[in-house]
Amino acid sequence: MPGHFEPIPGGGAAVALDEVEISIIRSLAVQLMELIGPGPAENAQDDPLAELFAEGPSEPPSDPVLQRLFPDAYSGPDVEAHSPEQAEEQRAHSSEFRRFTENDLRAGKRENALTVIRSLDGLTPGGDGGAVLKLSAEEAEQWLRTLNDLRLAIGARLDVVAEEDTDLLFRLPDEDPRKPMVMAYLWLGGLQETLVETLMP
């Protein structure tokens, strides 16, 4: 079990984490929540009506990490290959889609990250500071989504856009300042992969 998820009865998953691993995942999940930011309800003093009628942004975020987490729905690199009219129409569709979906997407990502933080905070460390994390099937799904978001966020900071980019990361010298981030990216990828395998029927 150390370093990888395994299935447990009831459809959940378990993994043994040491003290450092617990601290790293928790810190990254907190940073992810801070990056995503508060929801419209939090900005409106939890007014239910304000939340009901709140619209999201219509433009993509400027931060490259948030662009990776909240990509345009109807546009991409191939948009420019279309006629100017088609490209403009796709951008308009993306803007409209973003306006009505981004707030919900952000809320979902915050809730998933919060589940990760709470499940780590609920651990009872052993003598070495490590613990076995046991997740229900629903919690495991939320962990999977957060691990994916964390890898997308770190990948954006490392300019990872294709599989070849990941291959290059393995060859970075130890003195490269990106090395710790690369190690976290690869480690989270391993956790994510074993969790996917665990949750497969």
Give 166-195 pLDDT, tens digit per residue: 778 878 888 989 899 999 999 999 999 999
CB atoms within 10 A of CB 150: 23
Q: Give the residue from 97, 134, 106 showing the smallest Cα distance to 17.
A: 134
Tell me the per-residue pLDDT of 8-60, one tens digit each, with 9 for 90 and over.
988 899 999 999 999 999 999 999 999 998 765 444 455 555 555 567 776 77
* This prediction's pTM: 0.83
Tell me the per-residue pLDDT of 61-80, one tens digit each, with 9 for 90 and over.
889 999 899 888 776 555 55
Under a CB-based contact definition with an 8 Å cutoff, are residues 60 and 98 in contact? yes
> Could you tell me if residue 133 is left (phi over 0), alpha (psi between -120 and 50 degrees) or otherwise beta?
beta
More confident residue, 118 or 10: 118
Could you give the dihedral angle defined by the CA atoms of residues 194, 29, 100 and 77, in that order, rounded to the nearest 10 degrees? Answer: -60
End-to-end CA distance of the chain: 19
Q: How many angstroms separate the CA atoms of 46 and 50, rounded?
A: 8
Map tokens 């962990």 to a residue: 143
82 DSSP assignment: S
Map tokens 């043994």 to a residue: 16
